[in-house]
Amino acid sequence: MTRPSRLDNPEYAAFAWARYKRLMAWMFAFTLVVTGAALGFFWYQYGMVSIHLYIATAIAIIFSVMLTSALMGLVFLSSGTGHDEAIDDPFADLADEDE
What integer is the mean pLDDT of 75-86? 75
What sign has the CA pseudo-torsion 65, 68, 71, 73? negative
Angstrom distance (rounded) from CA 15 to CA 48: 46
Mean pLDDT of the chain: 85
Q: pLDDT exceeding 90 applies to what percent of the chain?
A: 52
Task: Summarize pLDDT for 20-55 with one digit per residue, the tens.
Answer: 999 999 999 999 999 999 999 999 999 888 999 999
Three-state secondary structure string covering the chain = CCCCCHHHCHHHHHHHHHHHHHHHHHHHHHHHHHHHHHHHHHHHHHCCCCHHHHHHHHHHHHHHHHHHHHHHHHHHHHHHCCCCCCCCCCCHHHHHHHC
Question: Which pTM was predicted?
Answer: 0.74
Segments making up each domain of the chain, as ranges: 24-50+61-74
Q: Determine the pLDDT at residue 59.
A: 97
